[in-house]
């Protein structure tokens, strides 16, 4: 079972593949657009990569409200819980 | 029958996948290595990864397919490097055509653009109105014309070409042809020239593409357009629809094109989006009135009215955040605008 810290690290690593920022420089409170320089297309690609990596059925609508690294982690955690409960 | 869709994750692609699935098909969805596939994942359709720059991946992706939809033609993000963009677009299309030939494809439906339709004197343009050489307007027109010529020159298998007008509808996540509409609805005042614009519902394009693929004797090239209107009157009507301030008057053509070039150069440095792209400026300035009779008669396509298209776009765009949510207490139903638009 993945711990919250493992999930954080996994998602931060994914983000570092989308933007030219090293994982150790990415913080939970960072905003995807303002702090990490993602545009809306880039942030959708991130969530798509996340859905593929974790095999989650994230919808475009679910992804729309994501603004920060912490939002991304929370979204992944919510879908992982739903998947485990199914 | 095996069907492959190149560009399945994009705006038209998702609409096409829906149309194919509705007909009981299970298309093989070819996607780029890094792209947003959330919509495809939800549809549980098979996906194959292939890069248009990698012929071996394309051949593998198309192997065993008898029908291929090619919706993944090169789409430059700006018009600042025309030679490079032309070279890239033609090279990638050659890769697709060669891969289709190697895979034994029978028919390829190629999605081009109404930018390849030439003006006609005194009447709306039809499929018979073709440019004899690349239109001298800008990169977008030249690229689309050269790519279409290359596709039509293919003899190893059948190629049919669809020329859709500005596509509107659900799944336009990149805010392509809806850019002016979204900017206006968000209360911005998008700079724009005036000229003819033709629109079409992406779902109708999808239905037409399926018919092009399945018809026994399809037209070789077909215009897909629900209607043609003047852009500025359309924006005025949209401002009423979205209860926002009317747009500023249109810019003269030369000024709009100069602004678009400057905006693209600025956006490239700043890493954001041009307020007016050169592609959009050219499409409006050089826009022609279109006659889509052939699509109606030969394929039986019924084009939706603009209001229906906008209602579907709005509902989707507000769900995914492209448009802001309705203000509390605002009427759900927008005032109709189709009375301001003339269908062709």
- Least CB-CB distance to B42: which of A39, A41, A59? A59
pLDDT at A62: 87
The CATH topology of domain A4-85 is 1.10.1200
Q: What is the pLDDT of residues B168-203, one digit of tens each?
A: 999 998 887 888 999 999 999 999 999 999 999 999
Total domains, chain B:
1
Distance of CA B27 to the CA centre of its chain: 20
Residue B131 gets which letter from DSSP? -
Does B41 sit within 8 Å of A51, measured CB to CB? yes
pLDDT at B343: 45
**Mean of pLDDT values over B21-33:** 96
For residue B272, the chain A residues in CB contact (below 8 A) are 39
| Chain A contact probe: residue of B14, B35, B320 with most A CBs at under 10 A | B320
In a domain, B284, yes or no: no
pLDDT at B334: 62
Q: What is the pLDDT of residues B209-223, one digit of tens each?
A: 999 999 999 999 999
| Chain A contact probe: residue of B14, B32, B33, B36 with most A CBs at under 10 A | B36
Give yes or no for A25 touching B (CB within 8 A): no
| Kind of pairing between the strands at B196-201 and B227-230 | antiparallel
**Interacting residues of B106 by C-beta distance below 8 A, sequence separation 6+:** B66, B67, B157, B158
**Interacting residues of B121 by C-beta distance below 8 A, sequence separation 6+:** none
Tokens of B60: 């593998």
Smallest Cα distance from B49 to chain A, Å:
13
Which conformational region is residue B167 in: left (phi greater than 0), alpha (psi within -120 to 50 degrees), or beta? beta
User: B164 lies in which domain range?
Assistant: 3-173+198-227+289-325
Residue with tokens 């394009």: B205
Give yes or no for B38 touching A (CB within 8 A): yes
User: DSSP assignment of B134-189, as one string?
Assistant: --SS-HHHHHHHHHHHHHHT--SSEEEEEEE-EEESTT-TT--TTHHHHHHHTT--
Give yes or no for B271 touching A (CB within 8 A): yes
Q: Percentage of chain B with pLDDT > 90?
A: 84
CB pairs under 8 A between A and B: 46
| Chain B contact probe: residue of A15, A17, A34, A48 with most B CBs at under 10 A | A48
Alpha-carbon distance of A47 to A70, in angstroms, equals: 13
**Interacting residues of B69 by C-beta distance below 8 A, sequence separation 6+:** B3, B4, B5, B6, B7, B16, B27, B108, B109, B111, B209, B213
pLDDT at A33: 87
Cβ atoms within 10 Å of B173's Cβ, excluding its own: 23
Ordered per-residue pLDDT tens for chain A, 86 residues? 678 888 899 999 999 988 889 999 999 999 998 899 888 888 888 999 999 999 998 988 888 889 999 999 999 999 999 988 88
pLDDT at B328: 57
pLDDT at A42: 86
pLDDT at A86: 83
**Interacting residues of B84 by C-beta distance below 8 A, sequence separation 6+:** none
Task: Give the pLDDT band (50/70/90) at residue B327.
Answer: low
Does A45 sit within 8 Å of B35, measured CB to CB? yes
In a domain, B340, yes or no: no
Alpha-carbon distance of B212 to B107, in angstroms, equals: 10
Give yes or no for A52 touching B (CB within 8 A): yes
**Interacting residues of B96 by C-beta distance below 8 A, sequence separation 6+:** B6, B52, B58, B68, B70, B72, B108
Task: Give the pLDDT band (50/70/90) at residue B344.
Answer: very low
- Indicate whether B242 pLDDT > 80: yes
Task: Give the pLDDT band (50/70/90) at residue B236.
Answer: very high
Alpha-carbon distance of B284 to B325, in angstroms, equals: 29
pLDDT at B342: 47
Q: What is the CATH number of the domain that holds B70?
A: 3.40.50.720
**Mean of pLDDT values over B97-122:** 97
- Least CB-CB distance to A60: which of B173, B271, B273? B173
Alpha-carbon distance of A71 to A65, in angstroms, equals: 8
The sheet that has B107-111: what strands, in order across it? B47-49, B28-31, B3-6, B67-70, B107-111, B158-164, B221-224
pLDDT at A64: 80
Residue of B nearest to A51 (CA): B38
- Indicate whether B88 pLDDT > 70: yes
Residue of B nearest to A33 (CA): B272
Task: Give the pLDDT band (50/70/90) at residue B76.
Answer: confident
């Amino acid at each position: 079972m993945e711990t919250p810290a493992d999930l954080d690290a996994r998602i931060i690593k994914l983000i570092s593949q989308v933007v030219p920022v090293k994982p150790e420089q990415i913080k939970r409170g960072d905003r995807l657009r303002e702090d990490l320089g993602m545009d809306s297309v880039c942030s959708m690609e991130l969530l798509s990569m996340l859905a593929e990596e974790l095999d989650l059925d994230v919808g475009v609508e679910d992804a729309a409200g994501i603004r920060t690294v912490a939002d991304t982690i929370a979204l992944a955690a919510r879908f992982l819980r739903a998947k485990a409960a199914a | 029958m095996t069907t492959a869709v190149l560009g399945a994750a994009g705006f038209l692609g998702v609409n096409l996948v829906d149309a194919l699935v509705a007909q009981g098909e299970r298309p093989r969805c070819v996607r780029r290595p890094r792209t947003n596939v959330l919509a495809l994942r939800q549809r549980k359709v098979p996906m194959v990864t292939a890069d248009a720059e990698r012929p071996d991946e394309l051949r593998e992706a198309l192997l065993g397919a008898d029908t291929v939809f090619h919706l993944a033609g090169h789409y430059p993000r700006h018009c600042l490097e025309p030679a490079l963009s032309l070279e890239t677009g033609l090279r990638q299309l050659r890769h697709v055509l060669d891969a289709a030939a190697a895979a034994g494809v029978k028919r390829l439906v190629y999605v081009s653009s109404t930018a390849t339709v030439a003006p006609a004197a005194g009447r709306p343009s039809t499929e018979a109105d073709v440019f004899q050489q690349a239109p001298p307007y800008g990169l977008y027109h030249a690229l689309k014309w050269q790519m279409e010529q290359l596709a039509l020159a293919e003899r190893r298998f059948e190629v049919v070409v669809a020329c859709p007008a500005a596509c509107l509808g659900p799944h336009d996540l990149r805010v392509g042809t809806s850019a002016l509409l979204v900017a206006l609805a968000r209360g911005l005042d998008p700079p724009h020239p005036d000229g003819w614009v033709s629109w079409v519902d992406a779902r109708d394009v999808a239905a037409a593409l399926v018919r092009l693929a399945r018809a026994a004797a399809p037209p070789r090239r077909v215009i897909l357009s629900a209607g043609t209107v003047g852009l500025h009157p359309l924006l005025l009507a949209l401002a009423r629809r979205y209860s926002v301030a009317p747009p500023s008057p249109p810019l003269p053509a030369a000024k709009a094109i100069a602004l678009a070039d400057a905006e693209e150069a600025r956006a490239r440095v700043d890493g954001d989006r041009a307020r007016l792209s050169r592609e959009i400026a050219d499409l409006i300035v050089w826009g022609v009135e279109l006659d889509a009779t052939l699509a109606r008669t030969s394929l039986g396509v019924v084009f939706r009215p603009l209001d229906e298209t906008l209602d579907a776009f709005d509902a989707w765009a507000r769900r995914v955040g492209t448009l802001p949510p309705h203000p509390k207490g605002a009427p759900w139903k927008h005032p109709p605008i189709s009375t301001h638009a003339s269908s062709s």
